Amino acid sequence: MAVREILIHPDDRLREIAGQVEFPLSEEVKQIIRDMADTMYDAPGVGLAATQIGVALKIAVTDTVWRKEEVRHDGDEPGGVRDLKVWINPEFIWKSDEMASWEEGCLSVPEVYGDVSRPAAVTLRWQDIDGAVHERDFEGFEAVALQHEFDHLIGKLFIDYLSPLKRRMITKKMKKLYKQGN
């Protein structure tokens, strides 16, 4: 298990645009994916984009089923249901006109939450770890989680959807937290 440091806003690396992943995957990229999963579960979170650990590649992991409070610890092995998904080179090929508002949080903006309005349903094209291309429709919480994570890959944070005043207040709070941590 390798848990990596999660970058905290306003770290400039969170605003980087991720690059395309080439196939076949190198051992280094496979290790990055394993580390991302370990980091997401350890945080705990339901998603993590590569840019959040300082890797500017179009990779994200999600698990919208798993919740830390549902996991029991009997010795070294956690219990509970996990549904890890790896998204490589994801792209939305359709987004609904119907919008849905969800309260979002982010591992890179700790202890901050805000209501964000996003398309209620999406169609996604992505590659798996073998390079196979998939296309599927998503709605509800999973659609929101995917949009949130893939925003990271284009340098966007959920706070960018909030009012300018709220964004400034959050950034000020995060700068203070960031200075304390460095």
Predicted confidence (pLDDT) per residue in 135-177, tens digit? 999 999 999 999 999 999 999 999 999 999 999 999 999 988 7
pLDDT band (50, 70, 90) for residue 179:
confident
Q: What is the DSSP string of 103-154?
A: EEEETTEEEEEEEEEEESEEEEEEE-TT--EEEEEEEHHHHHHHHHHHHHTT
The pLDDT of residue 67 is above 80:
no
CA distance 63 to 41: 9
What pLDDT, on the 0 to 100 scale, is given for residue 81?
67
Q: Calculate the alpha carbon distances from 144 to 79, 101, 118 in Å.
A: 26, 9, 7
Predicted confidence (pLDDT) per residue in 96-130, tens digit? 999 999 999 999 999 999 999 999 999 999 999 99
Active-site choice (16, 104, 142, 149): 149
**Average pLDDT over all residues of the chain:** 91
Q: Hey, which CATH number is domain 12-179, 3.30.2420.10, 3.40.640.10, 3.90.45.10, 2.40.30.20?
A: 3.90.45.10
Q: Is 152 known to sit in a ligand binding site?
A: yes
pTM given for the model: 0.89
Q: Is 148 known to sit in a ligand binding site?
A: yes
What pLDDT, on the 0 to 100 scale, is given for residue 73?
40
Q: For the chain, give every domain's residue range.
A: 12-179
Predicted confidence (pLDDT) per residue in 21-64, tens digit? 999 999 999 999 999 999 999 999 999 999 999 999 999 999 98
Handedness of CA 91, 114, 34, 13 (dihedral sign): positive
Contact 57, 32 (CB under 8 A): yes
**Lookup: tokens for 166:** 């709220």
Is 149 in the active site?
Answer: yes
What pLDDT, on the 0 to 100 scale, is given for residue 152?
98
